[in-house]
Amino acid sequence: MKIPGKRLLSRIFRNCADPKGALGRVILRMMNFGHRPVYAWTFDHLMLADGMRVLDIGCGGGGAILELARRFPSICVDGVDASEESVAMCRRRTADVPNHGEIVKGVADALPSADATYDAVYAIETIYFWPDLRAGIREMLRVLKPGGIAAVSVECFNTDRARVWKSLVGRMEIRTPEQIVRTFREAGFTDVAHFVKGANLPTWCGMACIVGRKTNSHV
């Protein structure tokens, strides 16, 4: 498939994995806007409540944190991202959020958080760029409190349909919902379920959300 303006688009979208500079800020703004439906749909499955402490893994430009704060003003949300550009933008955009938490630089497979810190953790549109999915999911389990819930949401989960995005973004690994579910279970999550929306659309993968719970028996 020939993509008009592919060279320019690729220069922009290659910042998805590690936003840097002016083009990085462009892609962060694009993702904040374009991922709004995924933020909202993910939070519908997280069973959140006011007063919780939550972690956003791959917080990007802060769009998900702003949506979460709008829904639950008393929730405290920390954010972590591997990109310095993302951390800087997220800090700016969420500075006025009531009860906002810390936004720090870090990676998914070695989260800079203590064990059993959070009531809920989520990763939206970011696992494509994790070098080790298993390690990242295990880290989600580690930082959760017993009984806490985790969610991973993706829009690209069909290898054939996501081919055009891989050609633009470059370093990007597509995982199916079944692969993510299996990784959740192998890590030790229970009550693992996945939800898919819009998979029959002719031009897009749709949205997939995988959720799992840390049992009270985990110490």
pLDDT tens for each residue of the chain, 219 residues long: 444 445 655 555 565 567 778 877 887 888 888 889 999 999 999 989 889 999 999 999 999 999 999 999 999 999 999 999 999 999 999 998 887 799 999 999 999 999 999 999 999 999 988 989 999 999 999 999 999 999 999 987 866 666 665 555 557 778 889 999 999 999 999 999 999 987 655 446 688 999 999 998 665
Q: Which residue of the set 67, 85, 125, 139 is catalytic?
A: 125
125 counts as catalytic: yes
- Please provide the CATH number assigned to the domain covering 6-213: 3.40.50.150
pTM of the model: 0.88
In 3D space, the residue among 116, 200, 114 whose CA is nearest the CA of residue 158 turns out to be: 200
